[in-house]
């Protein structure tokens, strides 16, 4: 399986929609990619507009925190 190359975010969402997976797996992938985009975006904004206190070593911690929150929302949405 080759790694996908996305030109923009819409390509990424289309790739997930077209995967031969269950609705639950697709929802979890959407959470994963959405979380990654959010953490990259907030890190970028902190670097560009912030006071420079944002550190690369907190990137994974931020990702993990946001992922756990979004995963919980996804699980609640799927089960209801």
Q: Is the pLDDT of residue 80 over 60?
A: no
Measured between alpha carbons, how far is 35 from 65 in angstroms, rounded to an integer? 9
Query: pLDDT confidence of 33, banded at 50, 70, 90?
Result: confident
Measured between alpha carbons, how far is 74 from 68 in angstroms, rounded to an integer? 10
Maximum C-alpha span of the chain: 44
Query: In whole numbers, what is the pLDDT of the chain averaged over residues?
Result: 78
Token pair listed for 48:
């560009």
| Cα angle 69, 2, 20; round to 5 | 60
């Amino acid at each position: 399986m080759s790694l996908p190359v996305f030109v923009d975010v819409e390509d990424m969402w289309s790739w997930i929609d077209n995967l031969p997976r269950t609705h639950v797996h697709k929802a979890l992938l959407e959470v994963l990619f959405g979380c990654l985009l959010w953490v990259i975006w907030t890190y970028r904004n902190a670097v560009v507009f912030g006071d420079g206190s944002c550190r690369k070593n907190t990137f994974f911690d931020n990702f993990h925190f946001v992922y756990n929150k979004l995963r919980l929302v996804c699980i609640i949405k799927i089960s209801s």
